[in-house]
Structure formats: C-alpha cells, structure tokens
Structure 1
Amino acid sequence: MTNKDNEPQDSARVRSRRRVNQRLRDAVSKETSGDLKDVEIPPKKLDWMKRTYQWGVKADVTDSGLTIGALNVGIYGEIPDRWDDQSRMPRGAYPMPGVPPIGYSISEKRDLWADNAADLYEEAIQRRWTPATDIPWEAIGPLPDDVEAAVCQLCTMLCQHANTEIETLGTWLHQMSYGYHEVKLFLATEMFDAARHFEVFRKRALSNGGGLGLELKGDVKRMIIESRGGWSETALLLYLLRGLFTFTIYRYGSILANNDAEKAIFEKSVQDKARHLSYGLEHLRYAITRQDDKDLVFNNLLGIGERLVARECKEPIVLEPLAVIFGGGVEGAQSGMRTAQRLMSDYVNLYLSSLRSIGIDRSDSLSNDLKSYLL
C-alpha cells in the first residue's frame, strides 16, 4: 500500500479524534458551568499587571541563542553586592509583602559569584551526554584479571569523588540567595554532571566481568562535606585539592585508556571537570580580591587539607591501581608506578599554578608530602 492509499484512512482518524476532543471539551464546559452557577465571581481587579519594576524589555538573541547572560538587561542585569531578600523571588521581580523568610545564609555576592557562571551554564546544557548511549560499551573487551581489578578499583574511587561533589553541592545550593541565580543554575548542572560521573564509573566497573572494589577511608571526603566555614572555603577544598586531582586522573585516563569505551568515558568526564574548575577558580579569585584576609584563611585551610590529601594518596588503593593500569598488569606495575608518579607531579604542579592564578603562592609552604611528588 502506498502513502497515497493511507491518506483517506489518516484523514478519517484525524476527524474522529477531533470529534472526540470536541465532545470532551463540551462535556467539561457544561459540567463546569453547572458547578459555577451559584458561585459569586468577584470583579476583575488586574492590579498585578502594574506590579513590575520595568516593562517593555526585549533581550537580544545572540549567536548562541537566547542565553541566560543575554537576559541581563535594564534592571534585570543589576547584580547587587548584597541580596537581602529572603524569599525565592527571581531577581528583578516585584516583591510580595508578608512572604515568610527562607533563611538563606549566603547573601553577599563575594561569597559565591563568578563572572563566567552564566556562560558555563550554557556550555553545560549544550554538552550534555548520556552514559547509557554515548559510550561505546560494546568496545570493552576482556582484560587480564589484574588489569580489570585495577580498573574497577579506580572506578570505585572515582564514584566516591563524584559522591562527594553531589553531597557538597546539595548542602550549599539551598543556602545561596536567588539574587545570584546564574551561580545556582550552573552549580545545579555541576551536581548533575557529578551524578553522571558516578553513573558512568559504576557502569564501567560492572560491565566487564569485574565489580566494585574497596572503599577509601574518606578523610578528604569528610573534610570537604563537613566544611562549614563558608562556600568559598568549601570551594577551595572541593575544586583545588580534590577537583584538580580528579581532573588529572581523567586526563591520564583519556590518554592511556584500554579501549574506546574507556577513552570516551574519560574524554567526556574531563570536559565536564574542566568546566567545574573554571567556575571554582573564577569564584576563588573573585572572593580573594574582595576580602582583605581571605588569602590568609585559604592558606591556613590548604595547610590542613594538603596533609590529608597526601595521606590519602599513600593508601595502596589510590596509586597502586593506577600503576597496574599504566603498566599493563602487575608485572609491569613498577614501570606503571613511574607514570603514576608523573601523574602526581602534574597534579601538584597544576595545583600550585592554579593557586598562583588566584593570588596565592604556596611554593615555599607546600606540605613536604605533596612536595615529594614533584619531579
């Protein structure tokens, strides 16, 4: 049967559907009018139409579409240094008197802002990927048992890294005022990214005859999650101490993957992590330049955090699996450990250069344990 033969049948279906929909609308209208017969309908006031600070706004569509940043025009682009409203009112909306306060604890711009947050949000939305279908899982072939065990142990650790990020962001997001929605929107995408990373590394561990490995002790995780000094202080630990380490592992994984599936996992994950770090560095730089003693506070925190990170890296389940993976098995683990040492050296160097980019120099005060990784 041709498409032409189907046309009368399709038209009949459309007409039938329209008749059914019209009968439903008529029935609802009749029932509603009966219910409202004895109800007094108040006169229209329409006072709400006048409740706006600025009318006639038309944001420009950019080459990237109608972006969040493009909406910052007129009063809607005025981002105050302090946002005292304690409701969920969008920035620029007309306030409703008597709304009970939410109790946000972060109401100053310096405590969460980053100029690149809106652009990073757009990038995160555009670069979404799906582990179930965007990873060529069929490309994973059998690996030697020792290599598979090492990969699964690494995946277990990276799942914990992702868990830490999810819990940390969940703790702080609801404390941030809606006057700075660009940051809240971006951090929501980061939280979703972290969930995706948890998903993809769990799937890798359970997709090739292996299984999840041993849990980390979690001292660094607890340090980050239980940080209560402020979002900036937590961000320092989350992005610079832990985030840069995770990023470096992803980068090495994308180069030294065993197959196309692992390569895709690490390549996509490293793009996400680079975006997270971009916000973190921009915010920390913003915070330091607007608070006189912030660099001293950060230095003290880093002194504590560096020791915990160095101690965690000495756990056998952190670097030994990397050595086995990089060496192609237990027999090659010694040469693989040299690659793992280069990874650690790259991490520490990236950590120091990132700190310098936000105005902190720890070249002389770096903990001895981390300093020992420098090549």
Structure 2
Amino acid sequence: MNKAALSPKTIDIEALGFDAGAHLLVKHALAALPQGQSLRVTSRAPGWQSQLAAWARAQGHPLQWESGQQAALMQRGNAEAGRWHNAAYTGHADAQAVDAVLEHALPGWGLAARGARVEAGGPQFHFKLDHKQDFWAENAADLYTQAVHAQWNPDTALDWNEVLNHPPEIEAAIVQVMTYMIENENAALLVPARFLGQLHPHYRELQAALAIQVADEARHIEVFTRRVRLGGAEPALSTAGGQASLKSLLDEPDFSIAGFLLSVLGEGTFVNLLQYLQAYAPDALTRQMCRLAARDEARHVALGMSHLLYRLQSEPSLRSRLANAVQARHDQLAGSSGLNEEVFDALILIGAGSLEPAAVQTGFERVQQLMRDMGDGRFTRLLRLGFEREEAERLSSLHTRNFM
C-alpha cells in the first residue's frame, strides 16, 4: 500500500490565530475530508495549541498532539449528529424533497429558514398554527406573486388633483360610504394580522400571502381616508350595529371559520360593493380607487376559498362547523341594526346621482340589484364549497346585513 496515501493532509495556518479567523482554514480543510480521516495542523501563532484544542472540543473533533505539540492530528468527527436537528427530513411522505412543506412544524425549529439545520438546545417556539391542515392553501405562493405584481401606489395610481364638481349631497354620500368602508377595512386588516402572528414561519408561502393582504388593507384604509378629506370633510357616522358585526369577526378564534366569515362571505360581498361604486361614483378618482381595491379584495377571497377547499378535502365535517358559525353569528347580531340607514341612503344617492325623483328611483333599483348580486355571489361560493343548494341559499340569506 502507498504510504503517501495513508499520510494525513497537512494544513499550516502560519501566524493566524484562532481569534482572527484561523478556525475557518481548519473547518474548510476538515470539510473536504471523508468522515473519520485526520487532518494535520501546524502553526507558529502564539497560543495556537490551546485555541485549537478548545475549538476542536467544541466542534466534537478528536485531537492528538505530536512532536511535543508542534503539530496536531485532528480527526474529523461526527459532531453534527448530536449538535443539529435537521428541519427538512422528518414527518412527511415527501420530506426528502427540496424545500418540502411538512404537515407539522416542530417548536424547536423556531424562526429558522425552512430546511435549515437547527442547532440543538435552542428555545422552543409554540406557534398555535403549526399543523398544515389547519390553514394551508395550495395557491398561496401564486396569489402572493400576483399580489406583488399588482401592488399600486396611491400617489401615482390615483389623480388626487381632480376637481370635485358634483352636488354637495352626493359628496356627503361618498363621505358616509367611505367612512363605512374604513371601519370594515380595519377589521379586514386585523383578522389576518392576528393569525399571522400565530403562524409557524415554516409555512412561509401563507405567511407572505397574509402579510401582503394586511398591506393591501392598510392601503385601502389610507385611500378611503384621503378621499373622505379631499373635499374638506371629516369621517361621518359609525354605528353600534356595524361595530358589533365587525367585532364578531375579531372574536372568532378559529382560522378557517374566521377566513370563511371574513373572506368568503364578507370580502366577497364587498367586491360587489366596490364594483357598484366603480360603476356609479360621481368622480373618476373614487371609481379608480374602488376598481383597484376590488382587484385586491378578489385575491383575498381567492385565498380564503383555496384554504377551505384544501381543508374540506380531508375534513368534510368542517362544512357543518362553517354553517353553524353563520347561524351563530346571525343569532348573535339579531338584535343589532345591521347596515345603518345613512349608508343605505348614501348608496341610493350615489346610484341616483341627484335628488330628482326619477333619479332616486333609479338609485333605489340599483341598490336592490346590488344586494341581489351580493346574495348570488355568496350562494355561488357556498356551492363551490360543497353546500347543497337549499343550504347555500339559507346561509347566504343569514349573512350579516352589514355586508361584512
């Protein structure tokens, strides 16, 4: 056998101390060796022997000295077996796949990147949402990508210099509807934000989708507030009934049920409302902001639908829980006023464009059509989720009169 083949590889770290980066040279030289093979280390740096010994001990590499500690013989150990937990290779049928999304994220993975080696002994992070089945949506990554490309800047996408020349009663109606929209968008921001803090970072696609949804709602609140003040007005009326309806969304602790009530029923209904304003608002600025907001809200509805379809595949019993949640919310709000009269009248005026009797009649008919469109949209989404026709019609009719 060739004696040269048995000789350990030698690395001279020269005058570089371990307090100045010498460990990098040793670390990379060891990494190039097969498991169990030795590396010979020499140096002329002061105190290098004690520094090398401490580093080798911490890393789990056996060390022997030769020539009166003039050289060290270090064997590449298997320290990683005891030091690291690998976050990518447990508990999933396809766990060996690159960037695998596992069914259950462990507390010890903490905030580490998905698939990273996680050093043992770190803190435990207890995220409430750590089982994929409870929140996942197969198209979360795609919806996030769409949202990134569809982001819009209120300062450039909207013409804030537009002169408002419609009648003051129509402007007052716009202010009232915008006030109503703001409080509903506050709820639409806070619900996903609350669950975002409960979601294990392993599920980063959904994390990103929820985060950009929160950003969408923040932008809507900004533009609706700016629109209120454009003519010098301040926000109008907010009612106890509207607040009670929205509070029921914030109080719902279950991710799937909250998403069902907010996104599938509430925001889906709001898409129709925004489209109504896009069609009948008296100024181009309001029409454009409602068009852009409706596009955002449609993505939020798509994310909510995608999650529920994913979960219902393996948990069809969820359907009865969703129905019970609609009924319970209806019963809880039975004593409230629902949509306040000022908002309803404002929508009629916006659809009318004036206080002429014939125009008001047209506006009233347009609002009635809006409410039919809202009901039809809810009914269609409920059918997609697997509800029978009669049940879908019943649940759609039970949805809060406050729209959200």
Q: TM-score, normalised by structure 1?
A: 0.77
- CA distance in 1 between partners of 2:330 and 2:343 (Å): 16
1:365 to 386, 389, 394: 394
- CA distance in 2 between partners of 1:341 and 1:308 (Å): 25
2:220 to 197, 202, 206: 197
Contact 2:375 2:397 in 1 (8 A): no
Residue number in structure 1 paired with 2:106? 84
- Deviation per residue, 1:87-134 (Å, 9 max, x gap): 112211111212212210111111111111101111111111111221
1:43 to 19, 23, 45: 23
Q: TM-score, normalised by structure 2?
A: 0.72
- CA distance in 2 between partners of 1:126 and 1:269 (Å): 14
**Aligned AA (2:318):** K
- CA distance in 2 between partners of 1:312 and 1:280 (Å): 27
Residue number in structure 1 paired with 2:41? none
Residue number in structure 1 paired with 2:378? 351
State the SS of the aligned residue for 2:183: helix
Shifted more, 186-195 versus 237-246: the winner is 237-246
Q: Flag the structure with higher strand content.
A: 2
**Aligned AA (1:252):** Y
Residue number in structure 1 paired with 2:190? 167
Q: Flag the structure with higher helix content.
A: 1
1:225-236 to structure 2, matched below 5 A, reads 225-228=250-253, 230-236=254-260
User: Whose radius of gyration is greater, 1 or 2?
Assistant: 2
State the SS of the aligned residue for 1:282: helix
Contact 2:378 2:396 in 1 (8 A): no
CA distance change for structure 1 residues 146 and 253 in 2, over 3 Å: closer, same or farther? Answer: same
Contact 1:75 1:92 in 2 (8 A): no
**Aligned AA (1:78):** A
CA drift of 1:139 comes to 2.4
Counterpart check, 1:216 vs 2:245: no
1:65-104 to structure 2, matched below 5 A, reads 75-86=97-108, 87-104=110-127
- CA distance in 2 between partners of 1:326 and 1:276 (Å): 26
Counterpart check, 1:119 vs 2:99: no
**Aligned AA (1:125):** V
- CA distance in 1 between partners of 2:222 and 2:102 (Å): 38
RMSD (CA atoms): 3.1
**Aligned AA (1:82):** H
Contact 2:348 2:367 in 1 (8 A): yes
- CA distance in 1 between partners of 2:398 and 2:129 (Å): 35
State the SS of the aligned residue for 1:118: helix
CA distance change for structure 1 residues 330 and 298 in 2, over 3 Å: closer, same or farther? Answer: same
Aligned length: 320
**Aligned AA (1:337):** F
- Deviation per residue, 1:163-216 (Å, 9 max, x gap): 111111221101111221100001100000000000010011101233211113
State the SS of the aligned residue for 1:342: helix
1:181 to 204, 209, 214: 204
- Any stretches of 5+ residues in structure 2 without a counterpart? 1-16, 32-79, 88-93
- CA distance in 2 between partners of 1:99 and 1:371 (Å): 47
Counterpart check, 1:256 vs 2:256: no
Q: Which has the higher contact order (CA 8 A, sep 6+)?
A: 1
- CA distance in 2 between partners of 1:219 and 1:371 (Å): 10
CA distance change for structure 1 residues 223 and 261 in 2, over 3 Å: closer, same or farther? Answer: same
- CA distance in 2 between partners of 1:284 and 1:370 (Å): 18
Residue number in structure 1 paired with 2:366? 339
**Aligned AA (1:215):** S
- Any stretches of 5+ residues in structure 1 without a counterpart? 1-36, 55-71
- Deviation per residue, 1:7-26 (Å, 9 max, x gap): xxxxxxxxxxxxxxxxxxxx
**Aligned AA (2:106):** D
Contact 1:142 1:208 in 2 (8 A): no
CA drift of 1:257 comes to 2.4
Residue number in structure 1 paired with 2:311? 287
Contact 1:161 1:246 in 2 (8 A): no
Residue number in structure 1 paired with 2:354? 329
CA drift of 1:73 comes to 11
CA distance change for structure 1 residues 245 and 216 in 2, over 3 Å: closer, same or farther? Answer: farther
Residue number in structure 2 paired with 1:296? 320
- CA distance in 2 between partners of 1:100 and 1:203 (Å): 45
CA distance change for structure 1 residues 84 and 336 in 2, over 3 Å: closer, same or farther? Answer: same
- CA distance in 2 between partners of 1:223 and 1:241 (Å): 14
Contact 2:276 2:370 in 1 (8 A): yes
